[in-house]
Structure 1
């Protein structure tokens, strides 16, 4: 069944019904198949898209650019230091100007209220590439990955645990997505790092309709038991100070994904996912700094963590493509 998403913003999964989300996932799967078969049709020839990045990115930027090019659209990249947004020009004014020049706008930056304001005044579709509160395109990519590697299970049959800092945009978004799609999600983290109670309550209300199971716990053993996927993210998010590392590492060490945790799932087919970037060695500037201060054990997690990351990126590329395509 087709759904009319014409001119719809994609700002957070809370704005979409489970059937609309499933429709996006199904279309993304079809686009991926067409891409690999060499049969993808360019539906966006003559369209122009603005990519606003107030926070730097590798995968999200590449996903939107390649998806746009694959569909025949042109892009303009507006980086962290490449505009007057928030300095000499308000987001409201920026939205009105760019909305007259472009057919769609992607935004990656800070507060959710910023992308909401952009979406309210642009007059063209706006897509959230990440805010402090939500990262909806990543969730669609992750759910597609779970479907492809979940041994034939549908989303409502999948159990997964998110470990670490569950109050960030990934913890929030995975919880919302799981609630919408009837999944069994366990947020395994110190209580101080659980999502805001208001969002938890909203997701629990959604779960009453969809049949989702939402568990918040500090108990690692109980949280990971019988999971199909273990998911984690960095322990200090973009914008947080380096001084936060020492305290954060001490708090999060029990929630580090390692072989003991994987074995504790009791599922020999369990998969490990990470949205990246991941500090698993000392071969990056930040990774080396952490290793020098706190030792390599603060970085290490099983290398199998990389096994699904590229798949997730490819899914994000297809997801970006479907968002662009379905907006017009």
Structure 2
């Protein structure tokens, strides 16, 4: 089946069918190989791209700018001071203006309704780099990374996400895993499980694609035989500057330690986490040098099982894959 994403928005994982998601993962891998071999071909020469951000997330901005640069495109960054107090009608008018100036827009940290308004009126591809509900670009990077560290197909993998089950990275991974037919376990305190509607929807999608989906509170059962353990964020990026003692108390037993990796019974199990958090993110300001961060101990982060640096690199290639798939002719 031929995959054609030209001119498409990429605002959520739900909007991608399983074939399209696999296509983007494969394209990201191909573009990475081409760059490393020195054979990359610029397919976005003289394209103009807008990076519209609601907060400063330097790593995500850098990944977008590098991906665009490699493909010959130019990036203009537009911060919240330009639109934060705009009324809905003004947002729609701004979308029309941006659509006349740019070839595509990447949104980072924007509200979902703002992105929807941009996508409706801009007339050019709009991408979601990170929102409260979803981060499709990071999902492509994560699946690309998984493929690099296992001989298995995505549909044969067991992925355990440990931490807060309600934040965007956990939800995004759950939906993506269901689309490609993984055995997916969300391991979280019961008070932080996703809502029933979300769980039922993902279970149905997983069943349709030959996968499994389970939500568990028992860490040992949740990580048994896992190929990958993924530390989910403890708080959403909107809440990271506020202290939530209750969430910390609930999640403390769910921090990934070496014992967690050993509980898988799989000596080849790899450790992953939400990439922007890896670069001194606010959510981990209280972490000590000895413990590393709340969601993972330092010896896990620095172990041979950790592939967070590969995730970070692959964010660039995943971003590039989305750009090329939607903009190149």
TM-score w.r.t. the length of structure 2 is 0.91
1:254 aligns with 2:253: yes
The answer to whether the 8 A contact 2:60-2:276 is kept is no
The answer to whether the 8 A contact 1:95-1:121 is kept is yes
Query: Aligned-pair distance for 1:52?
Result: 0.5
What residue number does 1:22 align with? 22
When residues 38 and 290 of structure 1 are mapped into structure 2, their CA distance, relative to the original with a 3 A threshold, is: closer
1:201 aligns with 2:200: yes
The answer to whether the 8 A contact 1:85-1:94 is kept is no
Aligned residues: 322
Q: Show the 5 A alignment for 1:1-328.
A: 1-81=1-81, 83-87=82-86, 90-150=90-150, 152-240=151-239, 242-278=241-277, 287=284, 289=286, 291=288, 299=294, 301-305=297-301, 307-328=306-327
When residues 46 and 110 of structure 1 are mapped into structure 2, their CA distance, relative to the original with a 3 A threshold, is: closer
The answer to whether the 8 A contact 2:292-2:301 is kept is no
Unaligned runs of 5+ in 2: none
Secondary structure at 2:230's aligned position in 1?
strand
Query: Aligned-pair distance for 1:245?
Result: 3.4
Unaligned runs of 5+ in 1: none
The answer to whether the 8 A contact 2:277-2:283 is kept is no
Query: Aligned-pair distance for 1:287?
Result: 4.4
Partner deviation per Cα, 1:227-266 (whole Å, 9 max, x = no partner): 0111013312222165533222211011110011111111
Cα distance in structure 1, aligned partners of 2:63 and 2:281: 22
Query: Aligned-pair distance for 1:267?
Result: 0.7
Secondary structure at 1:49's aligned position in 2?
strand
TM-score w.r.t. the length of structure 1 is 0.91
Secondary structure at 1:171's aligned position in 2?
helix
Query: Aligned-pair distance for 1:205?
Result: 1.6
The answer to whether the 8 A contact 1:171-1:195 is kept is no
RMSD across aligned C-alpha pairs, in angstroms?
2.3
Query: Aligned-pair distance for 1:65?
Result: 0.5
Cα distance in structure 2, aligned partners of 1:177 and 1:272: 18
Query: Aligned-pair distance for 1:192?
Result: 1.9
